Amino acid sequence: MRVIDPHMHMVSRVTDDYRLLAASGIRTLTEPAFWAGFDRGSPEAFRSYFDQLTLYEPKRARQFGIAHYTWICLNPKEAEDLALADEVLSFVDEYLDRPTVLGVGEIGLNKNSKNELAVLERHVDVAARRDDLILVHTPHLEDKLKGTRLILDVLSADSRIDPSRVLVDHAEEHTLGLILDRGFWSGITLYPVSKASPARAVDMLETYGMERVCLNSAADWGDSDPIATLRAAQEMRARGHDEDAIEQVLWHNPNAFLGQCPKFEPAC
């Protein structure tokens, strides 16, 4: 079985995870830039991280037969310092041009603050100017509905943005329909403790259909599971979905979205 996981944070995973992914058929993944668990204090710290994502991690992945792509941005959690954000945004093009970078992400909102919105708009402008794909993080729990609406409004307000080139991630039961109705791609994140379980994810697929929906593990330094996508596949199988439907969600859908960037070439 072939699987693309469009959202993993491999810099915080060990080599055994790469072995497990390769053995499980997950041989292509994409890694959005994200928060390190603490705020990076300087533009140089961002440069080091972007180098790690674009130079070192693809090489590490290749040793295990995995194709590793990435996304570049400042995370919404790092958007409160506008001067630092502007400085980082002044050099992101240099990284976005690198051969394994698919676009701008994961941008979005965390606490839905004014500064986060300002930095989100600047990122959207960068992507629009370059005609890059966008990967969006939506906030957690009680802020999710409001934050998702705010993000969709920012994206829709920019006439240069084509919704079919944007994936809005961490969708849940109360936001998935909203995202799809406005023409965007959506992602459902499978987490062992928060976000969606395999059963909830498959309920959502059965309710909203399998068009423009991708599943991901968002495996990072927290409690997460790098083969969560396979657990959702198992749940689909147990409910009687055929292998074509499973392959559509775990392979064809992410391949169609990510393949809009000419740099993307999945490993089979």
Residue 141 per-residue DSSP state: G
Closer Cβ to Zn ion, 32 or 198, answer by number: 32
CB of 7 to Zn ion, least distance (A): 6
**CA nearest 98: which of 58, 137, 126, 125?**
58
Closer Cβ to Zn ion, 5 or 248, answer by number: 5
Stretch that binds Zn ion, among 27-35, 48-56, 88-96, 123-131 (CB under 5 A): 27-35
| Helices of type H across 40-175 | 43-51, 57-62, 82-89, 92-96, 114-130, 144-157
CB of 243 to Zn ion, least distance (A): 28
Closer Cβ to Zn ion, 33 or 233, answer by number: 33
Stretch that binds Zn ion, among 30-38, 122-130, 234-242, 243-251 (CB under 5 A): 30-38
CB of 199 to Zn ion, least distance (A): 22
Stretch that binds Zn ion, among 10-18, 26-34, 53-61, 111-119 (CB under 5 A): 26-34
Burial class (CB in 10 A: 0-12, 13-18, 19+), 263: middle
HSE toward the beta carbon, residue 121, CA cutoff 13 A: 12
CB atoms within 10 A of CB 140: 14
Closer Cβ to Zn ion, 100 or 217, answer by number: 217
Stretch that binds Zn ion, among 141-149, 155-163, 218-226, 248-256 (CB under 5 A): 218-226
How many whole angstroms separate alpha carbon 219 and alpha carbon 33? 13
Closer Cβ to Zn ion, 54 or 248, answer by number: 54
Closer Cβ to Zn ion, 30 or 112, answer by number: 30
Interaction of residue 34 with Zn ion, rule CB under 5 A? yes
SS3 129: helix
Residue 72 per-residue DSSP state: E
Question: Binding residues for Zn ion, per CB under 5 A?
Answer: 34, 218
